Amino acid sequence: TAGITQAPTSQILAAGRSMTLRCTQDMRHNAMYWYRQDLGLGLRLIHYSNTAGTTGKGEVPDGYSVSRANTDDFPLTLASAVPSQTSVYFCASSLALNTGELFFGEGSRLTVL
């Protein structure tokens, strides 16, 4: 079973360029999330979506945007990348926003030079 699929697995990006990280789930989960993982800081929530058509800001939303056009896809866009956005990005989903286990993808490693 696929679960959560993220792409690309890794990317090197020049500062100032834009980038979209893709996330697709096949579990028909209503809620989806984007986290960034930095050493010693754990995982920090960037944006989330309760259901298709709605999104919300997490703990560290600045410099990132998301959209949720349908249930399965939740892309994360960096409009103008900066070196501080170098991180590993994880997409996750859950049955609903207020219940259940988070299922994570395998991550996208982004390096901004």
Partner 1 sequence: GENVEQHPSTLSVQEGDSAVIKCTYSDSASNYFPWYKQELGKGPQLIIDIRSNVGEKKDQRIAVTLNKTAKHFSLHITETQPEDSAVYFCAASPHNAGNMLTFGGGTRLMVKP
Contact 67, 26 (CB under 8 A): no
Instruction: Assess 99 for contact with partner 1 (CB under 8 A).
Output: yes
Q: How many residues bind partner 1 (CB under 8 A)?
A: 26
- Which distant-in-sequence residues (6+ apart) come within 8 Å of 49 by Cβ? 31, 32, 33, 55, 56, 66, 68, 74
Q: What is the nearest approach in angstroms of partner 1 to the Cβ of residue 80? A: 27
- Kindly state whether residue 74 participates in binding partner 1, applying the rule CB under 8 A: no
Q: Looking at beta carbons only, is 13 or 45 nearer to partner 1?
A: 45
Of 6-45, binders to partner 1 (CB under 8 A) are 31, 33, 40-45
Closest CA relative to residue 32, chosen from 86, 62, 76, 87: 76
CA–CA separation, 78 and 36 (whole Å)? 13
- Interface with partner 1, residue 1, by CB under 8 A: no
Of 40 and 62, the one with the shorter C-beta distance to partner 1 is: 40
Q: Which among 110, 82, 106, 111 is positioned nearest to 25, based on CA atoms?
A: 106
Positions in the binding site for partner 1 (CB under 8 A)? 4, 31, 33, 40-45, 48, 58-59, 90, 92, 94, 96-102, 104-107
